[in-house]
Structure 1
Amino acid sequence: FGFAQYLSNSEHKFTIRGSPLYMAPEMLLKHKYDARVDLWSVGVIMYECLFGKAPYSSSSFQELAEKIKDSRPIEMPKAAHVSTTCKDLLMALLKHNPTDRITYDEFFAHDFLDLEHAPTKENYEKAATLVHKAVEMDTEKNAKEAFYLYCEALRYFIPILTDESDIKRKEVLRHRVNDYIRRAETLKKVAFIDKNTGKHLAPENKGNVSSLQRISSLEKSSAFIYNELRILSKSTTNMVDALEIGEVAEQYLAEGNYALALEKFQSCLSVLVPLLGKEPAGRRRDLLHKQVQIWMKEAESTKGLLATKDIDSLQRTSDEQCVLQ
């Protein structure tokens, strides 16, 4: 940090400071630069942490400079397995043109960092409040809203559980979180129904048939919204296609294939949200707005359930520690 210097977003410099390996292209090429050079450096460090080498590994400064001057494409190792959000952040950081690079606000708000759900005391309290609301909705037989709330609570609880260092507290919290996961899975079976037949998308548990047959007016109305929207969208091909992708996403969610469900939700929303912004006032716009809101909630719930996969890795780590001891 001997070379470090505070630089606000409004300031520009020309002087070269720091290690060439972590230098942004505009800095190395002696162009005018601003605080965004540090975002490139973060990208280089992130790349090293993931793959054990720099994106432009070189044997000399001259070789490094040539690669950067040529703007050679940065590629991930062929055998690399990283999540979509991880890859998205990495590539957004390692943009040669600083104007194309991710901004600081976008960086701190990125899904891969997920700072909103960081393991803090305040977030623990948020999670507890969400569970309390989920229990209320559950008692009122509002299965879908209870499902959303449990999943939202899990997004806060999982990082807290992962971060907990006290073994006893971790075990108690793990049991509670597992209870919330099981209840969310049960409510998911109640909440998701086929848009055309009115039957449950998820395979039914014969031991719990009575609870699965309780479909609230909220779940029925969501099917009506979808079906009417499908009829009104026949003249707009990309809207029809996006609605079909959203329906597939719900199927994956019901089946427990959360990674594919999230991918499909994001795919359909990336089409529907811009269409909603251009849609003129009227019945179709109202229905599209409601459907987008429903799928946004379901996408967030999918993220909560996807995060529960960390529970398995925590359990394995705990078992391995017991064996070693």
Structure 2
Amino acid sequence: MAGAGWAPPRLEEFILTERLGSGTYATVYKAYRKKNAREVVAIKCVNKKSLNRASVENLLTEIEILKTIRHPHIMELKDFQWDSDNIYLIMEFCAGGDLSHFIRTRKILPEKVARLFLQQLACALKFLHDRNISHLDLKPQNVLLSSVENPHLKLADFGFAQYMSPWDEKHMLRGSPLYMAPEMVCHRQYDARVDLWSVGVILYEALFGRPPFFSKSFAELEEKIRSNRVIELPCRPRLSQGCRDLLQRLLERNPLQRISFEEFFTHPFVDMEHMPSAESLCKAVGQYISRAEELKTLVTSNNKTLLQQGNTARNILKEMSRDKPRLYAALEVASAAMAKEEEGKEDSDTLDLYQQSLGELLLMLAAEPVGRRRELLHSEIQTLMGRAEYLKEQIKMRDAQFMGKEMLSESVRSSCTLQ
């Protein structure tokens, strides 16, 4: 995208330094926030001139998904900005590089290490699956590590992600051939189960040092993908029976016979219920309350930014809707919900207002003809859905904190006593 001597773009709040990587239409830089020199971020710079219609859709979907989700194993979108040349995604910085580099420098990973990373990836995928989000480009290059010394997995790059249920079929070719499910390449017709195939390829590469369809040419790769041969697992290194069973079920060419999401999340090798060790629980107990408060402050700060960004478009839409009293009234209800939220009233009454306005606006959208007002209305509905989802999470978080603090402390005390 840029020549070797090309200087990074300038952003008022940040100092951009080394280039971390680049893709088809974006370059990622390490950066420091000027007002807080200790805060390091990664800034994804997208050159507007390089965007075609498909890449614009991908970028908007990536922003829409990342701005509404928070999870310890998904890279956080802190903010996004733009100028005349670029769109900037300000992301969480992961100092440990990506999983691909981690595997290459170690040749292969011990089963115990691969299992730990798999559990963390499964946690992220469970969170996404519960929200009908499919990543569609799972590969080691899109799995980042929080640090070098104590790496925690962070799922990144949601440029191809989509809201889709396990049965929604897509026909567009997405992702990287080495990690694509066969049905994506052969039929270009697929559903959410393609993510499970990609998990199998990542696990295979971690354990054996290269993906199952590793090839010296694209023709060879295509032949392997289109073949009906069962994926054979190497004899070395030796793996536990549970690990081999999971790999074979993930790398099932026929998506109808492939392991389901529910079976994957409950598989004995994944064993999500027993992820944290007693030791890690004991270490975490002192940090739990402060971290919860810190997270709440961070999310609230991001939330205020997102609220402010939607005001201009919302006001334009309201002006365009004065000839439709029912639509205008629904937008007024939405504005009332926004006002209550800006005042800090993040409660069930505010959530009810959001849901009331959404019920009306969705009916209005179905009847609205193609045009600028429909575009703004569609965007507003997406924003309001994000606000409603955010409020639900906040209310759940408060309820969980209120009900769970004593239970957590008791659980940790018991775990520590057993050591």
Tell me which of the two structures has the higher relative contact order, counting C-alpha pairs closer than 8 angstroms and 6 or more residues apart.
1
Structures share fold, TM-score greater than 0.5: no
Measured against the shorter chain, the TM-score band is: 0.3 to 0.5
Higher normalized helix content (fraction of residues): 1
Higher normalized strand content (fraction of residues): 2
TM-score (norm 2): 0.29
